[in-house]
Structure 1
Amino acid sequence: MTDRQLRILFVEDELNLAEIVRESLESRGFQVTHLATASTALEAYYNQKPDILILDVMLPDADGFALARQIRATDMDTPVIFLTSRSLPQDVVTGFESGGNDYLKKPFSMEELVVRIKALTSKSRTLFREMADPDAPVIIGSQYAFHYRQALLKRNEVIVSLTAREAELLKLFLLNRNQVMDRKSILLHIWGNDDFFTGRSLDVFITRLRKYLQHDPEVRIMNIRGVGYKLIG
Structure 2
Amino acid sequence: MNKNPTILLAEDEASLGMIIKESLETRNFNVVFCANGEEALQAYQQKKPDLLVLDVMMPKKDGFTVAKEVRKEDKRIPILFLTAKSQTADVVEGFSIGGNDYLKKPFSMEELIVRMDNLLQRHKLQNSDTIYTIGNYRFHFKKQTLQFEEEEIKPLTHREAHLLYHLNNNKNEVLDRSVILKKLWNNDDFFSGRSMDVFITRLRKKLKKDERIQIINVRGYGYKLVY
- Rg comparison, structure with higher value: 2
Q: TM-score, normalised by structure 2?
A: 0.61
Partner of 2:175: 181
What letter matches 1:116 in structure 2?
A: E
Aligned counterparts, 1:58-97, within 5 A = 59-60=64-65, 67=71, 70-72=74-76, 80-84=79-83, 85-88=85-88, 95=95
Structure 2 gaps, min length 5: 26-30, 57-62
Structure 1 gaps, min length 5: none
Deviations 1:74-106 (CA, angstroms, capped at 9, x unpaired): x6xx6x5333535549x57x95xx683x5322x
- Relative distance call for 1:56 and 1:88 in structure 2 (3 A) is same
What letter matches 1:229 in structure 2?
A: Y
What letter matches 2:161 in structure 1?
A: A
- Return the match for 1:147 from 118, 140, 143: 140
State how far apart, in whole Å, the 2-side matches of 1:87 and 1:226 are: 33
Shift in Å at residue 183 of structure 1?
A: 1.6
State how far apart, in whole Å, the 2-side matches of 1:151 and 1:46 are: 32
1:118 aligned onto 2:131: no
- Relative distance call for 1:195 and 1:21 in structure 2 (3 A) is farther
Partner of 1:40: 41
- Return the match for 1:208 from 185, 195, 199: 199
Q: TM-score, normalised by structure 1?
A: 0.60
State how far apart, in whole Å, the 2-side matches of 1:45 and 1:120 are: 24
Task: Calculate the aligned-residue CA RMSD, in Å.
Answer: 4.6
Shift in Å at residue 214 of structure 1?
A: 0.3
- Relative distance call for 1:191 and 1:209 in structure 2 (3 A) is closer
1:26 aligned onto 2:21: yes
State how far apart, in whole Å, the 1-side matches of 2:71 and 2:199 are: 24
- Relative distance call for 1:9 and 1:151 in structure 2 (3 A) is farther
Shift in Å at residue 182 of structure 1?
A: 1.6
- Relative distance call for 1:99 and 1:183 in structure 2 (3 A) is farther
State how far apart, in whole Å, the 1-side matches of 2:46 and 2:165 are: 25
Partner of 1:157: 152
- Relative distance call for 1:162 and 1:46 in structure 2 (3 A) is farther
For these two proteins, the number of residue pairs brought into alignment is 199
- Relative distance call for 1:136 and 1:232 in structure 2 (3 A) is same
Partner of 1:227: 221
Percent identity among equivalent residues? 26
Higher normalized contact order (CA 8 Å, seq sep 6+, divided by chain length): 1
